[in-house]
Amino acid sequence: MAIITSAWKVRKPLQPHDFRPISIIPVLSRSFEKYIIRSYIYPALQEPPPRLYFADQFAFRPTASSTAAVLVLFHIILTMLSTNSFVRVFVLAFSKAFDTTWHSTIITDKMTQLKLPDQIFNWIKDFFDNHSHCTKYLGEYRTIQVSRPV
C-alpha cells in the first residue's frame, strides 16, 4: 500500500491545487521496482513487436522527458516550415491518462506482446491487481475508493 501525502507547491498553500501529491512506499519496494524496470521493462520496450509503436512516446522511458517531446515537436515544425509557408499544430494533453484507463486492458492487450519473462509479467499484473493507496492528511489516514472507467 502506498501512502499519499501532500507537499506544498507554494509558500502559503490555501487551495487543494497548492499541494503536490507524493506517494510514499517502502524503500525495499521502490528499489525492487527500479530493478524490474531497468532489467526487464526498458529492454522489452527497446525492441517492441511490430504491432506496438513506441517511437513517438516520451513518458516512462529512460532517455525521454517532456523537454525531449517539445524539442522533437519544435524540430518537426521547423522542418515543415522550411518547405511550407505555415504549419498547423494540434496538441492534446491527457492529464493522468494512465489513472483513467483499465490497467487490465493495458496488461492483456499490450504487455502480453512484450518480451517479458512469465514471472515478471505475473508480478506486474499482480502489482496492479492488488495495489492500493491511502491518503495521509493532518496525521490521519483515509482510504479513497477510486472509480474506474466503464
Residue stretches of the chain with pLDDT short of 70: 59-62, 93-100, 144-150
Q: For residue 62, what are the domain limits?
A: 2-142
Does 149 reside within a domain? no
Residue 41 burial (CB count, 10 A): 19
Does 112 reside within a domain? yes
Residue 60 burial (CB count, 10 A): 12
- The 8-class DSSP code of residue 101 comes to S
Amino acid 83: pLDDT: 95
The reported pTM is 0.58
Instruction: Provide the 3-class DSSP secondary structure of residue 42.
Output: helix
Number of domains in the chain: 1
CB 120 within 8 A of CB 36: yes
Amino acid 97: pLDDT: 65
Cα dist from 92 to 97, 115, 116, whole Å: 12, 30, 31
Does 125 reside within a domain? yes
Amino acid 23: pLDDT: 77
Does 150 reside within a domain? no
Pinpoint the alpha helices (H) of 1-150: 27-36, 42-46, 66-81, 103-109, 118-130
Does 148 reside within a domain? no
